[in-house]
Amino acid sequence: MSQMKLNLSVKNLDQEVNYIKPHKEINLNEQVKNQSFLIKTIEKEVKSLSKKKQKVLLTIAKATLTASISSLILVNPVFAATPLAVPVATGSAIMPTDIMKIGMYLIGICATVSTILAMILMQLAGGYRMLRKSKEATLWMNDILKGYAVTIIAPILIMTIAFLAYLLFGDSNYFIKPF
């Protein structure tokens, strides 16, 4: 295995800055050995935990993985160039149009999923009715229809409330104008 060394040094030292080690030599082979040692000890520590704590760590890891993957999928390169918070004094909108596009995309996905789910559940409720469980099937169908109505009407209702708030408070200096 070849020896790898990295020399770090500051080009122009500033007299007012108190440097800890302005010229430092790093041996990369030792860094790799230390990392593998840490990975082995972390693995042993996790395996020695109780089943309950392992389960908690697993759910945390799954949630972190899901959030990071979804952020990688949904992130648009425009976010890197556009600041999300623009001062209100400039008069420009705080939310870029890309955030609205992503929101509309997610609303469309939710509406599609709820439509498909409502169809499947209504068919299952019909099958339940065929098994002479009409009282439970009727209650189930009512709940399915009410839930589906909420998922379809919710975006329209929320946008209406937001637009009314914009009309009422849009002239105020402290109000953020999203439209």
Mean pLDDT confidence for 25-43: 63
Q: Which of 140, 114, 111, 112 is nearest to 125 (CA)?
A: 140
Higher pLDDT, 123 or 20: 123
Q: Which of 79, 70, 120 is nearest to 98 (CA)?
A: 79
No. of H helices and E strands in the chain?
5, 2
pLDDT per position as a tens digit, 117-171: 999 999 988 888 888 888 888 888 999 999 999 999 998 898 888 888 877 777 7
Q: How confident is the model at residue 25 (pLDDT cuts 50, 70, 90)?
A: low
> What are the CA-CA distances from residue 169 to residues 85, 159, 173 (Å)?
20, 15, 9
Tell me what pLDDT residue 96 has: 56
What tokens does 11 get?
A: 């080009």
Quote the CA–CA distance of 104 and 155 in Å, as a whole number. 9
SS3 call for 18:
coil
Higher pLDDT, 7 or 139: 139
- Compute the mean pLDDT over every residue in the chain, rounded to the nearest whole number: 75
Q: How confident is the model at residue 47 (pLDDT cuts 50, 70, 90)?
A: confident
Chain centroid to Cα 94, Å, comes to 20
Per-domain boundaries in the chain? 25-74, 88-169
| 46-60, 78-92, 149-163: range with lowest mean pLDDT | 78-92
Quote the CA–CA distance of 56 and 50 in Å, as a whole number. 10
Q: What is the pTM of this model?
A: 0.42
Quote the CA–CA distance of 139 and 145 in Å, as a whole number. 10
Tell me what pLDDT residue 14 has: 73
In 3-state terms, the chain is what percent helix, strand and coil (to 5)? 70, 5, 25
pLDDT per position as a tens digit, 88-102: 444 444 455 777 788
Tell me what pLDDT residue 120 has: 92
